[in-house]
Amino acid sequence: MGFLFDIKDATYKWLGIISIIFVVVLVAFGLDMLRTPGKADLGQEALGGCVPLFLVVGILFIYTGLKAEREKRDFEKLAGYLKAYRRIKIPALASKLRLSEYETERRIIRCVRLRLLTGYIDRASDEFFNPQGMAGKVLINCPGCGGSVEQMILDGETGKCPYCGSLMVSRVEKI
């Protein structure tokens, strides 16, 4: 799906360039008709009606193509940023990106749908998890009091028991 960005922005930019080229041809045609006796009305119609229309259309296509290209870069940058983390809290990411939490989640979901990155959002912990970090997902009971820890502690991470305050280190046993 990521390739659709490439097609989208390139298509809009090319349509804009073609429209601008068409404007140049229309201007040349209109000026030629203005100098031709008996065809000045045709030249005025070409210059007065068609040129502004195609000029506006061409500029809009180019603007839309550049906007799509900028959007593509933003999503690729976000995906690259998220790939660097095993997990990250959505509020912390929203703060770094200077976006609302809702907009941040929407952009993460869009990156996943475009296959720029893989992972999922855990609603319970309000975190985005990268699947490379999830390889060692372990749920732990506290060694101090035996209470079950509700937070996810990934392999190699240290968590704190919410009941007794003991520190817990997660280790995955490899068979």
SS3 2: coil
Q: In Å, what is the CA distance from 113 to each residue of 91, 103, 109?
A: 21, 15, 6
In whole angstroms, give the CA distance from residue 13 to residue 61. 6
In whole angstroms, give the CA distance from residue 86 to residue 133. 4
**Res 154: pLDDT:** 65
**Res 172: pLDDT:** 52
Q: What is the pTM of this model?
A: 0.60
**Res 137: pLDDT:** 47
What are the tens digits of pLDDT across the range 53-85?
888 999 999 999 899 888 888 888 998 888 888
Q: Which ranges of the chain have pLDDT less than 50?
A: 1, 136-137, 174-175
Specify the CATH number of the domain 85-134. Answer: 1.10.10.10
Let me know: does 89 contact 135? Beta carbons within 8 Å: no
For residue 25 the two structure tokens come to: 């041809």
**Res 174: pLDDT:** 46
The residue ranges of every structural domain in the chain are 1-84, 85-134, 137-175
**Res 98: pLDDT:** 92
